[in-house]
Structure 1
């Protein structure tokens, strides 16, 4: 199954489809750090398939540079990552590059999710114009141009649930009409990542579309997969404090973690990016109070309950959930890109560690495998993780679509 991944981000969607044996012809993404991550993932798969994974491990251990890593990868493989913003100006260039990659082949499936800020509750609430003039409202039109050009049998379009109601529902109505004009039927569901084995409550709109001549119905995703709790998810990770990190062979706390075989595979022994951001003393005092309150009273501490010397805002009447803890015996709340700015909504439940989540912990909550490496800075990694589609969720969607034998 040959796939184009649009607005690819770090590649959560394509990772899930790849785990089901699909071939990613091209990833199109504008963010430089995310593109570096996509290229490094392409390097991983190429080296793994050619029994050269020791080169990838040398890179993760910082024995070789990224340029040296890429020098071992055919340029045609790295060229699958097209680092471009999708716009009227760039689409002809992107088409040309994809055509070069495809040669005589056809595209079976297009996947991706246009930027969701214009549809998100947070984005709308911050914008005085309620995002009505934001050009990202119409990025779906670019997606449809790719459908018209490559005529895949099916597509998967992911976004936040706000896309259903954006601009009083006009955006979604226009999406449906434009897809019909392009020759596709579509249906959608609001799906929750936790139902796909992901240790996170994360609702997203998943639109699936298909050529009008195909006999198809939206799949039944009643999978009833029980995701591991946060305690099970983290149990093999060494304890670190704010500002500390662990990166190396033999650093796992336990020999294996049977709760997460798809995340920590048996043939992988290198722990990377278990990095906790540093925090000032005030933040760490607040984190400790949040965890203490939960441990003693089973509730989250509200902002207006903080001691006066720990408050940084005068507003005591709203946004009282400024600090949130991820609970051991439950699933995480939604990981979002804001985690790149601070970890106040993602406090670690272990009071002795007294910190926010590490990069690897956030990646695990999103169901990324431990052999997945996020490029560039800690903040860039957090942003990529927060914006991603959980690979486990994508894998189950891929499995259902493959089972139809239509593609």
Structure 2
């Protein structure tokens, strides 16, 4: 079951499919930091297969550099990450590189989700032209070119639900027509990640397409996975304060957290990227008030309800939910890429810690396993996490496709 991952980001989709035994031939991604993350993940899987996982652990512990880590990995493995923007100029070269990786065998599946900013509610609300002139509206056309070139039996296309209504529905109508003209039947559902073991209320449109001659219907997703609430998800992570980091061997507070759906792999004992942003005193005072308002009254504190000395501007009529805490006894609200800018919308539920989420906590909410490492800066890591497809959601989609009577 051979897969090409387009617009791969940090690899959330391919991680889930890989966990179900799919063979990821290549990732195509333009962001440099995300590509570094993909290469490091390829290194992890290669070293694990070679029974040399200690080299990967040495890297996480800071005993060797990234360059030294990659020196242990065959070039053909690292070359599976194609670091290029997908556009009309680059597609011929991307095809050439993919042809080498694909070889003479067929591609069974293409997965991926083009950048969604042009369809997002926030993006549209900020743009006076309602994103009508944004070229990202048409990235799906590049996706279709890959379908025409490699003719996979199936594809999985992920995006925000705004893609259904963009330009009064014209964009989605054109997407379906283009995919049909390429030889595929298509269907879609709006799926919520919280139904797939992901501790997050995250709705996404999942389009599945299949060759018109294949006996297939869009699967029904009935999962009996028990999704952990945030308190359970975080219970083995040590408490830290704003600006503090805690990484290294045996830093977990519990021997193992068996209630979090394999997010912390059995016998994994290296905690990475449990790093909290430093916050100024005004922000910390606001964070405390927001967390207390929820804990004591069960209410979300609005910006116009803050004491005057904590307000930083005079706009008290719009965007009043600038500060929001993650709730302990339920699932998180949607993690988005804006978390790379600040943590005001992702305040930790524990008043004693009084801070925003760490990279590792955000990664867990997105269901990335603890052995998954996000490369480069803290901001780059947050951006990768916010843009990702939750691996557990991807895994359940992969499992359903694998279990159908269709022979991939």
| Short-chain TM bin | over 0.9
Deviation sequence 1:212-242 (CA, Å, 0-9, x none): 0011100000214220000000000000001
Q: Determine if the alignment matches structure 1 residue 325 to structure 2 residue 338.
A: no
Provide the residue aligned with 1:387 in structure 2. 387
Deviation sequence 1:325-368 (CA, Å, 0-9, x none): 10110100000000000001100011110000000000000000
**Shift of residue 275 of structure 1?**
0.6
Q: Which range moves more in the overlay, 287-296 or 370-379? A: 287-296
Q: Which range moves more in the overlay, 204-213 or 304-313? A: 304-313
Provide the residue aligned with 1:236 in structure 2. 236
Provide the residue aligned with 2:84 in structure 1. 84
CA contact (8 A) 2:256 2:267 kept: no
SS of 2:246's equivalent?
strand
Provide the residue aligned with 1:312 in structure 2. 312
How far apart are the structure 1 equivalents of 2:214 and 2:105?
A: 20
Provide the residue aligned with 2:198 in structure 1. 198
Deviation sequence 1:88-137 (CA, Å, 0-9, x none): 00001000001001111210000000000000000000111110000000
**What are the within-5 Å matches in structure 2 for residues 88-99 of structure 1?**
88-99=88-99
Deviation sequence 1:259-279 (CA, Å, 0-9, x none): 114101113110000011110
Deviation sequence 1:122-177 (CA, Å, 0-9, x none): 00001111100000000000000000000000000000000001011100000111
**What are the within-5 Å matches in structure 2 for residues 282-321 of structure 1?**
282-321=282-321
Provide the residue aligned with 2:351 in structure 1. 351
Provide the residue aligned with 1:121 in structure 2. 121
**Shift of residue 406 of structure 1?**
2.8
Provide the residue aligned with 2:407 in structure 1. 406
How far apart are the structure 1 equivalents of 2:177 and 2:295?
A: 52
SS of 1:18's equivalent?
helix
**CA RMSD for the aligned pairs?**
0.7
Provide the residue aligned with 1:148 in structure 2. 148
Q: Determine if the alignment matches structure 1 residue 75 to structure 2 residue 75.
A: yes
**Shift of residue 313 of structure 1?**
2.0
How far apart are the structure 1 equivalents of 2:102 and 2:154?
A: 17
Provide the residue aligned with 2:336 in structure 1. 336
CA contact (8 A) 2:197 2:261 kept: no
Provide the residue aligned with 2:106 in structure 1. 106
SS of 1:367's equivalent?
coil
Provide the residue aligned with 1:130 in structure 2. 130
User: What is the number of equivalent residue pairs in this alignment?
Assistant: 407
Provide the residue aligned with 1:158 in structure 2. 158
Give unpaired runs (5+ residues) of structure 1.
Answer: none
SS of 1:26's equivalent?
strand
Give unpaired runs (5+ residues) of structure 2.
Answer: none
How far apart are the structure 2 equivalents of 1:350 and 1:56?
A: 32
SS of 1:273's equivalent?
coil
Query: What TM-score, normalized to structure 2?
Result: 0.99
CA contact (8 A) 2:335 2:362 kept: yes
SS of 1:251's equivalent?
coil
**Shift of residue 315 of structure 1?**
1.0
Q: Determine if the alignment matches structure 1 residue 53 to structure 2 residue 62.
A: no
How far apart are the structure 1 equivalents of 2:390 and 2:223?
A: 16
**Shift of residue 282 of structure 1?**
0.4
